[in-house]
Each structure stands twice: as C-alpha cells, then as structure tokens.
Amino acid sequence: MEDDQTSDFNVPSTASEGLQCFSRNVTYNVTTTDDTQMTLAVPEDMSLEVGERDGPPEMYEECVDTSKYFVGQISPEQYYIQGKAYTKAAIEDLLQSAEYLQRYTRCTLCWSIWCEGMYTASCTECGGYSMERPCPICQGRCGQIWKRDVEMSHSHNEAHWEGSCRLPEEKQWQFMTSILMDDGSEDSVLDGMEQLST
C-alpha cells in the first residue's frame, strides 16, 4: 500500500460545517479562516473542491478537479431540493427495474408474468394475451394494438385493455353485434355497449 500524501490549505470558516471525510489515500490538512484545524482524507483518484474560495488560486491548485465530491455548506432549502430530486430519480429507477416490472405485471390468478410475454389462455385475468393484443372490437382488422390496463386487470381479476378501433363506427357496431350474437348472454351485450360508448 502506498504512503498517504499530505497537503495543507486554508478554507473559509463557513465551509467548516457539513464537511465529509473520506479515508483513502490523500490526506488534506484544512485550516478554516477561524483557525479551526481539520484533516480530510480523499481517494487518490479524486480531488477536493472547496465551496467558497478565499485566497490565491494556487492555494487550491491540488484540489480543483471535475470530481463529484464537493466540500461546502448548503442551505436547508438546497438540501431539500437535492433530496427531493434524488428521491424522484430513485423512484423512477425502481419503477423501471426488471424486478419491479415482473412483480407488477404478474397475474394474481395464474402467476404468469405479462411483461415477459407469458399468459394462460384460460385465465380470465390474462384474457389470452400478455401486455398487448389486437383490437378486440374488430379482431385486429383495423391494425390497432391495445395495451393492458394492469391496475384494472388486477383489481377486477379480469383482463382490461386500453385502445380504440380505427374502423368507422358503423363497422364497429357490425363487429360488436356479431361478437355479442355469438356469445349471446345479456351481460356480454351490456358490456359491449358500454365498451363502445367509452
């Protein structure tokens, strides 16, 4: 292991609060403007940058870099903004993670994972498709692809889809009528009429 390198420099006293120490390879002896002594250790491949500079530029020659580490004090408002941005980014990362998608798009009845293209043909929640299906009104003749409404599918244990048919309304009625006549139940007729009206 290499010996630590030591450098001395001064920082303003306002930067003395909120300093973080990194114990790696390079050690900095810090003196604030109110003569408080501190020792900071940072990785050799990283540098230290001071939030407020007070003095000639050569005093900071060794610590100016594009490092992601920044020594300085931030206000509570800045801390809140940074924390909020970090939380939002962390949630976005979580929602896009493979593990979350597998859990969120898993059928609660047969455990098929829709985002991986799995489904069970006889399962009511799967509805015979994974995350997408051809238009159910015209059986795909219009070329529209409908997307699964995952929350509705889970809450009703029945496949729910979002999309619209591109055929003229008269043609849609013809297809719906033929589908309903094949099924024949009163509930299916009412469901079909409700689907057309929305």
Complete edge-to-edge strand list for the sheet that includes strand 5-11: 5-11, 26-32, 37-42
The pLDDT-based confidence of 81 (bands split at 50, 70, 90) is: confident
Residue written as token pair 């530029």:
57
pLDDT score of 164 more than 80: yes
Q: Where does residue 92 fall: left (phi above 0), alpha (psi -120 to 50 degrees), or beta otherwise?
A: alpha
Query: Hey, where are the domains in the chain?
Result: 5-60, 114-197
**Better pLDDT: 152 or 56:** 152
pLDDT above 70 covers what percent of the chain?
55
Q: Return the pLDDT at 103.
A: 93
- The secondary structure of residue 53, as a DSSP letter, is -
Q: Could you write out the three-class secondary structure of 151-179?
A: HHHHHHCCCCEECCCCCCHHHHHHHHHHH
Q: Tell me how many degrees the CA angle 53-58-62 measures, rounded to the nearest 5.
A: 85
- The secondary structure of residue 50, as a DSSP letter, is B
Q: Are 16 and 40 in contact (CB under 8 A)?
A: no
Q: What is the mean pLDDT of residues 1-19?
A: 45
Q: Return the pLDDT at 181.
A: 75
| pTM listed for this prediction | 0.49
For the stretch 161-165, contacts whose Cβ atoms lie closer than 8 Å and that sit 24 or more positions apart, written own/partner, are 161/127, 161/133, 161/136, 163/135, 165/135, 165/137, 165/138
Q: What is the mean pLDDT of residues 157-163?
A: 94
Q: What is the mean pLDDT of residues 165-183?
A: 83
Give the Cα separation of 165 and 45 in Å (integer): 59
Q: Return the pLDDT at 40.
A: 59
Q: Return the pLDDT at 78.
A: 84
- The secondary structure of residue 55, as a DSSP letter, is S
pLDDT digit string (tens) for 93-114?
Answer: 888 899 999 999 999 999 999 9
Q: Are 27 and 39 in contact (CB under 8 A)?
A: yes
